[in-house]
A and B are shown apart, each in its own frame.
Chain A
Amino acid sequence: MTGLGTRKELMIFTAIIAVMGIAALAAFQISGPMSIEKRFQNALGISGDCGEEPEGIGFLGFSIEGQPLLYSGIVCGLLILCYGAYRQFRI
């Protein structure tokens, strides 16, 4: 069987999603909105700007962490590598 699964399987999966969702919302209510780096700083009690990563370019709230130019270059390089591997070995 390769499909979504039986009703029982999906119910168990949905129950896990519900539990995780409630846990995440509770954690969010307690800690408030902040970046992942800031969460680490708060959890450890590290003050100041240490741990902040360079601000990347963004669109609709989505942004790139790290250097956008390097990111683009590496993604292009990886895509070329994928094409080469596909030509050589297929899939």
Chain B
Amino acid sequence: MAHIHLEDGSFTLFWVVVWWAIALVLICAALIWVRSAKKTDNRKITLAAFCTAAAFAIFQVSIPLFGGVHLNLTPLIGILVGPAIGSFVVLIINILSAAIGHGGWGMIGANLIVNVIEVVVAYMVFRALKNVFPGAFARGGIATFASLFCGNLAMIAIILISEIQGVTQSKSQILAGLSLLAGLNMGVAIIEAVITGMIITYILRVRPDMLESERP
């Protein structure tokens, strides 16, 4: 759910370059990880394509809740295809979103970092809780909450660190405002957690081999 909704020009050029550079390092790491795998399961490509299409389609839909919010399904992407391929999926979604005017081109780097954190945390928490929470619904939901909470923290940190142009508030006022925003985002995370839990439960019931996070 965490997505920096600021237009191009909000960050100074220096910070646009910094966040893009970090995002590219993350993408390169994901690329090396995928290439180092002995054998890539081609079926994952299909799953990644479905994840991209579904997440892009849902990401652009503004839901009439709290004045207008949207889902992004990044935790589901992480659980289904794993952090490496998931990073490519969120990269494509961010580029396509910027192409239709949802988010600025200069914000892709920062938003990609936030989304990659969400993908990685969801995957790791879902795997880590396997013995504690054997049921897929609660485990998927809790992984989603953890993922989106970390995504919101990353979003706040990026905005606080970056020198945003035209800002009239002090750092503490910005932190207070963004904390309220993060609080609302966590409310939206309830919908995302339930959806993710239901989808994961269904997939585990019919095709458990499809889940990257359930593999040994």
The B interface, classified by DSSP as helix, strand, loop or mixed, is: helix
Please count how many residues in chain B sit with their CB below 8 Å of the partner chain's CB atoms: 71
User: What residues on B are CB-neighbors of A6 within 8 Å?
Assistant: 134-135
Contact indicator per residue, chain B 20-54, by CB within 8 Å of chain A (1) or not (0): 00000000000000000000001101110110110
Of B109-117, B119-127, B173-181, the stretch lying at the interface with chain A is: B173-181
CB distance from A43 to the nearest CB of B (A): 3
Considering only CB atoms, which chain A residue lies closest to B47 in the complex? A91
CA separation between A24 and B66, bound complex, in Å?
9
Q: Who on chain A is nearest to B56 by CB?
A: A78
Instruction: Place the interface of chain A in its size category.
Output: 35 or more
Which residues of B are found within 8 Å of A63, using beta-carbon distances? 61-62, 68
- Residues 154-178 of B contacting A (Cβ, < 8 Å): 159, 164, 166-169, 173-174, 177-178
User: Nearest Cβ in chain B — how far from A7, in angstroms?
Assistant: 10
Contact surface of A with B, Cβ cutoff 8 Å: 1-6, 9-10, 12-13, 16-17, 20-21, 23-28, 30-40, 42-47, 50-51, 53-54, 56, 58, 60-67, 70-71, 74-75, 78-79, 81-82, 85-86, 88-91
